[in-house]
Amino acid sequence: MSGEYLHHPNPSRAPVISGAQKPACGRDELSAARGWAGRVLEAGRWLSALLGRDFGGASGRRDGRPRPEPADPPPEGALRVMTFNVRGSYHRDGENAWRRRAALNVRAIARQGPDLIGFQEFQDGNARVYERELAGYEHALGHRYENRPPHAYNAVYWDGGRLEALAAGSFWLSETPDRFSGSWETRQIRSANWVRFRPVSGAPEFVYVNTHLDHVSGRARVEGSALILEWLDGPVADGAPVLLTGDFNCEPSSKARSVFSDAGFVDAHLVAGHAPAKTFHAFRGEGFRGRDPSKEHRIDWILLRDGSRGERWEVEGYSIARDAEPPLYPSDHYPVIADLSLRDAGSAPDDVTRI
């Protein structure tokens, strides 16, 4: 799993994501960022041309095997999205080690049958299992993050039969986002991974961003969130609807969250009318209270922002999957799932544009 690349059904044709596809958006480089982001857009157009707009083959399957089918399917035509911090395979977790919970982890994913997955803490051992068990998905690893090997990735997996990837890339959450670097007292180097998708159904294009904010520095979380917004102001997003997922390592009441809320993002959990609920549980499930029982511990989010040309997201379903086979859990986080549709500009309130 060395290097950052897009996984294509024909590996010999899979393009490596080069520096020209890495958007630089640091606060002290904003004047250069716009031109740099323009080169990212051109790289995306080059990518589509290179692949003949057949990014994953007609079926979107890597080797002909189907992706998992959900036990409880989403509404017809809706896109099922999952964000999941899988707890990296190299952590020394004793009875919760990856080798012991990998099969349960895969079953938890398969039971939901997501069309699009944003992973966090995705490491080599996780990748080896998913290469075998989730072979029906295409994926983009993005940039490595964390300070030293074994690094992690904010990997994105998707069903190529439903979503066509037009462009993809990554940037680090720092003042020099085009280099492996950290800023703002971050404990770990962090990154964001993005893909611009065109739904095969003909629904509007959207931009997907997957990230993992720092677990220690509140300033790094705020500045990293602001950096993501600065990147979204560039030509790759170009006013398209945005889907943002990740482990944000902070409460919904945090300053980092306000950065996104103030920029027009809404939380699928709240849109769906759900009460406070934890997503991090430290391998203790519903018994976890943490050092501060007053905290919600809902740090894994699915955030949405409508497009500038009238495209509107609709949340048709939402859940926090609490799979467990005590004493084992799939991860120290619960996966979060949303079923989404896009309303096209000018559509009637009850006229949902299916993805």
Summarised one tens digit per residue, pLDDT across range 220-273 is: 999 999 999 999 999 999 999 999 999 999 999 999 999 999 999 999 999 999
Q: What is the pLDDT of residue 63?
A: 56
Q: How confident is the model at residue 67 (pLDDT cuts 50, 70, 90)?
A: confident
Share of the chain above pLDDT 90, in %: 71
Q: How far apart are CA 78 and CA 290, in angstroms?
A: 35
pLDDT category, 50, cuts 50, 70, 90? very low
What is the average per-residue pLDDT within 17-22?
Answer: 33
Cα torsion at 313, 316, 322, 324 (round to 10°)?
Answer: -110
Q: Which of 53-67, 85-99, 310-324 has the least mean pLDDT?
A: 53-67
Q: Return the structure tokens found at 339.
A: 């079923």
Residues 77-133: pLDDT tens digits?
999 999 999 999 999 999 999 999 999 999 999 999 999 999 999 999 999 999 999
Burial 255-282 (b: 16+ CB within 10 A, else e): ebbebbeebebbbbbeeeeeeeebbbbb
Whether residue 41 is predicted with pLDDT greater than 90 in this model: the reply is no
pLDDT of residue 64: 59
Note the pLDDT of residue 350: 55
- Report which of residues 55 and 289 the model is more confident about: 289
| pLDDT of residue 13 exceeding 80 | no
Residue 355: per-residue pLDDT: 56
- The per-residue pLDDT for 83 is 99
Q: Is residue 171 scored above 50 in pLDDT? A: yes
In this predicted structure, the answer to whether residue 315 has a pLDDT above a threshold of 70 is yes
pLDDT for 21 beyond 80:
no
Query: Where does the chain show beta strands of DSSP type E?
Result: 6-7, 79-85, 116-120, 138-140, 144-145, 152-153, 156-158, 163-172, 191-199, 206-212, 242-247, 266-267, 300-305, 312-320, 336-343
What is the model's pLDDT at position 112? Answer: 97
* pLDDT confidence tier of residue 181, bands split at 50, 70 and 90: very high
Q: Average pLDDT in the 27-34 region?
A: 40
> In this model, does residue 14 exceed pLDDT 80?
no
- Would you call 69 exposed, middle or buried from its count of C-beta atoms within 10 A (0-12, 13-18, 19+)? exposed
Assess whether pLDDT exceeds 90 at residue 17: no
pLDDT at 15 exceeding the cut of 50: no
pLDDT at 346 (0 to 100): 73
User: Which of 155, 61, 156, 71 has its CA nearest to residue 113?
Assistant: 71
Q: What is the pLDDT of residue 266?
A: 98
Q: What pLDDT, on a 0 to 100 scale, did the predictor assign at position 24?
A: 34
Residue of 290 and 352 predicted with greater confidence: 290
Query: What sections of 118-274 are H helices per DSSP?
Result: 124-133, 218-232, 255-261, 268-271
In the numeric block, the tokens 């707009």 are attached to 53
DSSP 8-state class, residue 82 = E
pTM: 0.84
The rounded mean pLDDT for the chain is 84
78-344, CATH topology level: Deoxyribonuclease I; Chain A (3.60.10)
Q: What is the mean pLDDT of residues 130-143?
A: 96
